[in-house]
Amino acid sequence: MEERLSSCYRRASKSMMITSLTTFVAFVSNAFSPLLLISSFGVFSSVLVVVNFFSAIVFFPTCVILHHKKWERWSWPCLRAFRNCSMYPCAKKDESKTGHRPNMVVRFFRGPYHAAVTHRVGRWLFIGVCLAIIAASLYFVTELKMSEKKTQLYKNGHNYYESEQINNYAFKSSLDDKNIKVIIAFGLKNQDMSGCHKTDYKCKGKTVWDNSFDLNPKPAQLALLKLCERIRSTSNNDLLYLKRDPVTNLVDMDCFITQMNEFMRNESPVTTPYGTTNLSLPTSEIKYAPFFSAHRSLYNASFIDENFYRYFETIKSYWINNRYNGTLTHEYGTYSILLGESKDALDTSTILSKPGAYYGTRLRYAGIEIRTTLTAGTKDFQAGLDIYNAWEKFVSDEVSQMPPSLQGGIQLTPAASSNEWHEFKRQEALAKSALQGIIIGLCLAFFVLTLATTNVIISTLATITIVLVTVTIAGCIPLFGWKISVIESINLSLVVGLAVDYVVHLSESYHNSPQKTRQAKVRDMLESMGVSVVSGAISTLGAAAFMIGAQIQFFLQFGIFMFCTIGFSLIYSLCLFTPALALMGPEGHCGSLVPLVRWVWYKIIGRGKEDTQCKDCHGKGFVKHSKD
């Protein structure tokens, strides 16, 4: 038992440590993703690798030793009568005298397979087949697209999936279908999310007000009226996808200040004894003095004096509450969510005939809602971001011409309208996260491989193999009819961590071979690690195969991803990486970092080329060369 465990540790512990380390760094690179799903999955996978490593080198050997010492010869009492040497070891055999023949897989890798991958024609056949697969994968990589739809929960054919498809797509669309709405908002700044941890998905952030926003100045009211007129009659529809009225050909939009202006213009001959008085916007103290005099049942005339400022908000409340007559029009439902107000310490007061209502409030935000012809899920993030940037430019150009109190305007898509701008940004983050995870994982894997093998050539060939596996797996996405969504982004970011195992085993074994020629090193590598690579791949493929039958789409796709990743990793490590080592694997100190490290160390300690090692210093000193 002691000899077997010692031999096992000598042979496998370093390989396990290097493999676990490279897999760990490849997985942990995803922990820095801004997306919670990918970040948490990367942390979980990296922790799992560490726990698995320590379990394999500490817990599993402990179980083997306990079994050997305590339970190897134990049997159930009722079966002890049937105990014999064919079922249980009765005596120790002298294993040194019994010949040990390697198993069939070891003999295959050491003999026929080694001869094939080192043959001057055979190795090119292996490489050619792999390059053909890679060329096909590169073609399919060019067909990669981002998914326009939300993440699919159930696989195709599942009852829930089919019911959702019928609900969304079985009925012909009509003009009443909800299109994406864009709101030009004033009074708000970008939400402050600094207090939200990325794991707190319920956190909405802190609302940041634009305190410079004010519609009481006359130039601000006139400028906003003109803005609505320009948008309604604009011909710029290239990337804005503006929805137009089929009769008037005007842009379909809800502009509160236009409706408010029309309402007050019609109020003029009704609410004031001065029939010629024009109550259309803009508001002012002089213009609206007769209006307040005519509505003493609503307003306290003594309260509205020369110090009163919130005339615009007062008239806005009168319009949206339909003269406070107790009946609300459809305009209230349309514009109440686009207008937000708060009490003003100086001007806010209650309506005399309706104590629950207020006037003289402060308008905190106001929005102009514009409808587009876009519907959710019809554009990928690249086309969507072009539309978003077109809206950004359009709104910024318009807002820059406004008075100072309106120059803080921004554009957004509301959450009630699917918040498509956020969806495009999320898809962009998915694509960047997948690419970032792959690049960081490859760089860290190359660094660890270089440290482990201390040979740049071996680590470069191994990293190239991992890159080719990643390219092949990326090419499988459009081949299977998928597009990049949350599931595919998570899987792509984990490909490097899954693909690194087998080339690490082979690289470390090639590096540790005492042979001088690359053909002999390859034979040692295949003999010592071939069976480990194949057995590890078979067990992982078997585990992944069970997930392919899952009904949940994530487990189904994860199983297919893992199966393909392990399968192509095995193929490329044995059929591409191994022939490449037989063709250009380093011999001697070629590509080794040991001479470079030794030279740097000698420079640090001041040792020259002709200085000799001190034989009596226990390896801790050297003897300077004497010129005499």
- Per the document, the length of the chain is 628
Structure token digits, residue 488: 């595919």
Q: What is the pLDDT of residue 255?
A: 96
Residues 601-613 pLDDT 10s: 777 877 777 677 7
- Of 143, 144, 147, 141, the residue nearest 379 (C-alpha): 147
Please give the angle made by the CA atoms of 242, 404 and 417, to the nearest 5 degrees: 30
CA distances in angstroms from 368 to 319, 338, 365, listed in the order given: 17, 7, 11
Q: What is the pLDDT of residue 175?
A: 54
* Amino acid letter, 3: E
- Of 537, 524, 515, 539, the residue nearest 578 (C-alpha): 524
Burial of 239 (0-12, 13-18, 19+ CB in 10 A): middle
Contacts with 87 (C-beta within 8 Å, 6 or more apart), sequence order: none
- Of 390, 364, 333, the residue nearest 186 (C-alpha): 364
Task: Give the integer Cα–Cα distance in Å for 416 and 529.
Answer: 58
Structure token digits, residue 407: 């120059």
SS3 call for 592: strand
Question: What are the structural domains, with CATH classification, of the chain?
Answer: 2-91+110-144+425-584 (1.20.1640.10), 181-417 (no CATH), 594-623 (no CATH)
How many other β-carbons are positioned within 10 Å of the β-carbon of residue 604? 8
* Amino acid letter, 513: S
Q: Largest Cα–Cα distance of the chain, in whole Å?
A: 124
List b or e across 551-561, with b for residues whose CB sees 16 or more CB atoms inside 10 angstroms: eebbbbbbbbb
Q: Which residues of the chain have pLDDT under 50?
A: 86-88, 91, 94-98, 270-271, 274
Q: What is the pLDDT of residue 603?
A: 79
Structure token digits, residue 330: 């459809």
DSSP 590: T
Q: What is the pLDDT of residue 419?
A: 79
What's the whole-model pTM score? 0.74
Contacts with 203 (C-beta within 8 Å, 6 or more apart), sequence order: 193, 195, 196, 197
Structure token digits, residue 399: 């807002």
- 595 contacts 588 by C-beta, under 8 angstroms: no
Upper half-sphere CA count for residue 101 (Cβ side, 13 Å): 4
Q: What is the pLDDT of residue 158?
A: 76
Q: What is the pLDDT of residue 539?
A: 92
| Percent composition of the chain: helix, strand, coil (DSSP 3-state, to 5) | 60, 10, 35
